[in-house]
Amino acid sequence: MTQQETSSVIAELADTLRDWLPEQRWFAGKDRPVHAVTAVRTVRLDGGDPQLVHAVVEVEQGEPKPDRYQLILGLRSDVPEHLGHAWVTALGDRVVYQAIHDPELTALLLDLLAEGAEVDGLSFGHEPGVDLDPTQRSRPIGAEQSNTSLVYGQSYILKLFRRLVPGTSADLELHRALAGVGCVHIAAPLGAIEGELDGEPVTLGMLTEFLPNTADGWAMATASVRDLLAEPGAYPDEVGGDFASEAHRLGHAVGTVHADLARALGSSEAGPGDLSTLATAMHARLDAAQQAVPELAHYEVALRAAFDEVRTVGGPVPMQRIHGDLHLGQVLRSVTGWVLIDFEGEPSAPLAERVAPASPLRDVGGMLRSFDYAAHHMLVGEVDPDQHATAALEWAGRNREAFCDGYAEVAGDPREQAVLLHAFELDKAVYEVVYEHAHRPGWLPIPLVAIARITGHGDTRHDR
């Protein structure tokens, strides 16, 4: 196939892709019909058979600005059995399939990264001083994720971003900045695939060190909760599965990452204007949430009061780059300690907002909410949830404290900024209410009860 022919592949596939895209778990517009799929650019990365085609497509779904996605397709005249599940469609005498499942083709991506190649506007590069071993064989990871990650051997992990927005990805930017100051709580960035979109640079892929033998914070924390709930009447520090020392270490790691981010990219102090903007944004999110979930009305006065208090926070409030979407699922326990991943920020926010300086307490609030979730999610659907409610609350309280203790060892003690911290927690809980209402109504009590507790509507005795 010539380069000319390559550029027409997407056009020929347009009809197929309209049906195929919504079936992909990384496709963000599942709730709307796909009207048209057109190629933004198509690059043939390797000729021959099989052939690797890189495409950026525009998906028309009736929005003013269509979404753009990255596709990595393979073309073969003969598809071996083990690639059967990657089949997309037939095109002439060849089969189009998802190249991420074909180690023969993904090896090429690693080759190009190792070489530092430029191919028709796609630039593959490795970080300075990094020497990649291109012989590692890849496999896609099985995780439910919004992008697609390939693990090469036990050495590298390549995240291919699916929905593209112009600009350097915050994930790549922060990984680079943190590596630059020697941060030990991240996977080392090793390389990137970059291109151009709307005349701006765009990050298509990020290669980092793969950390073998990790478990994520959610799995670790819930193992501990499970252990506690099996001992009726026990206090969390009395059972073997106590998580406090891990929570402490995790707090220390997050504090270190914050300090490193401030060191690498600077920090400033929030002015009264910033705080006011923050409060306004929280109110606005509550407005929208109340539309969707009328139950929130019950807490509205207390929530608004908590958000208003943000405007009057005294003393310096440091602002800096933060993780932006921190929870137990974004931290991995490796054999050397905790590592933070996925610095993309709040997924639904526009890039400009995601890269703006923010209070690190926002990350802390996210993590504290996550402890609360870990403690309570097992109670969902129980016949008598009250039976374990005390234990769950004690678990959350103990581990939230331990997390803050660890954090305070390296950065400021978050509990000293109670007004701000509570506001961030409530803001996050409001977001959770909307999410659970739409997706998992059974879980709705988790954020609702938390809001009641933090705002003093419910039993507050165990609140941290």
Partner 1 sequence: MSIYQRSESQRDLGAVPHTGEDVLPDGHLVEPQAGDFRHARAAPSDPEWFKRAVFYEVLVRAFRDDDGNGSGDLRGLTTRLDYLRWLGVDCLWLPPFYASPLRDGGYDISDFRAVLPEFGTVEDFVVLLDEAHRRGIRVITDLVMNHTSDQHPWFQESRRDPDGPYGDFYVWGDDDSAYPEARIIFVDAEVSNWTYDPVRGQFYWHRFFSHQPDLNFENPEVGEAMVDVLRFWLDLGIDGFRLDAVPYLFEQEGTNCENLPRTHEFLKRCRKVVDDEYPDRVLLAEANQWPADVVPYFGNSDVGGDECHMAFHFPLMPRIFMAVRRESRFPISEILAQTPRIPSGAQWGIFLRNHDELTLEMVTDDERDYMYAEYASDPRMKANLGIRRRLAPLLDNDRNQLELFTALLLSLPGSPMLYYGDEIGMGDNIWLGDRDSVRTPMQWTPDRNAGFSSCDPARIYLPVIMDPVYGYQSVNIEAQSNSTQSLLNWTRRMIHVRHEHPAFGLGTFAELGSSNPSVLAYLRRFETPGGDEPDVVVCVNNLSRFPQPVELDLSEHAGEVPVELTGRVRFPPVGELPYLLTLPGHGFYWFQITRDQEAP
User: What residue ranges bind partner 1 (CB under 8 A)?
Assistant: 82, 139, 142, 212-216, 219-220, 223-224, 226-227, 230, 238, 240-242, 245-246, 333, 335-336
Instruction: Please give the full DSSP string across 338-351, using - where no structure is assigned.
Output: EEE--TT--TTS-H
Helix (H) or strand (E) holding 274: helix 272-292
The answer for residues whose C-beta is within 8 angstroms of residue 386's C-beta and 6 or more apart is none
Rounded least distance, CB 146 to ligand ATP, Å: 4
> Which C-beta is closer to ligand ATP: that of 164 or that of 341?
341
Three-state DSSP class for residue 392: helix
Rounded least distance, CB 82 to partner 1, Å: 6
Helix (H) or strand (E) holding 219: helix 217-229
Rounded least distance, CB 167 to ligand ATP, Å: 16
* 138, 208, 320, 455: which one binds ligand ATP (CB under 6 A): 208
Helix 445-454 to helix 361-376 angle (10° resolution) is 120
* 246, 260, 342, 432: which one binds ligand ATP (CB under 6 A): 342
**Does 138 engage in binding with ligand ATP (CB under 6 A)?**
no
> Which C-beta is closer to ligand ATP: that of 147 or that of 399?
147
- From partner 1, ligand ATP, none, interface partner of 335 (C-beta below 5 to 8 A by class): partner 1
As a 3-state breakdown, the chain gives helix, strand, coil percent values, each rounded to 5, of 45, 20, 30
- From ligand ATP, partner 1, none, interface partner of 157 (C-beta below 5 to 8 A by class): ligand ATP
Rounded least distance, CB 209 to ligand ATP, Å: 6
- From ligand ATP, partner 1, none, interface partner of 187 (C-beta below 5 to 8 A by class): ligand ATP
**Does 169 engage in binding with ligand ATP (CB under 6 A)?**
no
**Does 211 engage in binding with ligand ATP (CB under 6 A)?**
yes
DSSP secondary structure letter of residue 75: E
Q: Is-contact 301 341, C-beta < 8 A?
A: no
> Which C-beta is closer to partner 1: that of 140 or that of 366?
140
Rounded least distance, CB 185 to partner 1, Å: 16
**Does 141 engage in binding with ligand ATP (CB under 6 A)?**
yes
Measured between alpha carbons, how far is residue 232 from residues 15, 164, 241, 463 in Å? 58, 49, 14, 21
- From partner 1, ligand ATP, none, interface partner of 219 (C-beta below 5 to 8 A by class): partner 1
Nearest CA to 172 among 183, 182, 161?
Answer: 161
Backbone angles phi, psi at 334, to 5 degrees: -105, 175
* 42, 147, 256, 290: which one binds ligand ATP (CB under 6 A): 147
**Does 146 engage in binding with ligand ATP (CB under 6 A)?**
yes
End-to-end CA distance of the chain: give it in Å, rounded.
64
Helix (H) or strand (E) holding 440: none
- From partner 1, ligand ATP, none, interface partner of 215 (C-beta below 5 to 8 A by class): partner 1
Read off the tokens for 258: 């914050």
- From partner 1, ligand ATP, none, interface partner of 194 (C-beta below 5 to 8 A by class): none
Measured between alpha carbons, how far is residue 309 from residues 297, 304, 305 in Å? 19, 9, 6
**Residues lying near ligand ATP in the complex (CB under 6 A):** 141, 143, 145-147, 149, 157, 159, 187, 208-211, 214, 216, 341-342, 344
